[in-house]
Structure 1
């Protein structure tokens, strides 16, 4: 039997938290070097998510995705708008809804984030192999689906 590794003794939730920190800390360092040092906590998620999407996102969806209150999402969006990362516009399909989109500054910050994410992903694949990365993604995706199914019940 192979020797136990340090991570075999750590709970999965703790591993997930610290693994997330690997990405977040590296992104924050790179963003600060490029002059984007004023992005609030959940701002990385919003900016990165908008960059991967095909347009804007309703604030209501941010509330659901981030698991924060409508007031919290509104404050986050307000901050990102004031700092030049997001624009807020009425939804053309439903004028009662507000859509947030990336500004030029937001897109530039998202590009920095994406570059860091790609570097870390490549380093990880180099250390454990593409098959293990795919298995990890499958496991994380399954965890997410488990919670989504509970929410739908």
Structure 2
């Protein structure tokens, strides 16, 4: 299963990188679309945007720095809590996030044609349950 999950992630990643490159976003850092997606889908503080990266704080900060310097994100102090930093998408960031979503939908549609929408929905539910179970100390007993 881990090998299949890695290969499946590679299919999505390849499609996303190709779509971004074709649309002129060829300077997107590795894992940058993850952060853009977090901000686009949830609006985020900096901590929230990088929480799921699974990297060190330093690596996450360097990724955000790259996204800011390349014009995808803007960073500002949280007006309600000066200790926190908010990140927002720039116009360029919104356009790159839209291209990423389009690429993901294209893979999803190909997958649905290959195995059916119901199978895709079941797979999504199974993977969601796996992710949610990661905090369960009895999972896998």
TM-score in terms of structure 2 length: 0.91
Pair member with larger Rg: 1
Q: Does 1:144 align with 2:131?
A: yes
After the TM superposition, which parts of structure 1 deviate over 6 Å for at least 4 consecutive aligned residues? none
Unpaired segments of 5 or more residues in structure 2?
none
Cα shift at 1:97:
0.4
Return the match for 1:58 from 45, 55, 64: 45
Tell me the residue number matched to 1:46.
35
Tell me the residue number matched to 1:90.
77
Return the match for 1:21 from 10, 33, 39: 10
TM-score in terms of structure 1 length: 0.85
SS in 1 for 2:74: strand
- Asked if the contact 2:35/2:50 (under 8 Å) is kept, the reply is no
**How many matched pairs?**
137
Unpaired segments of 5 or more residues in structure 1?
1-11
Aligned CA-pair RMSD:
1.2
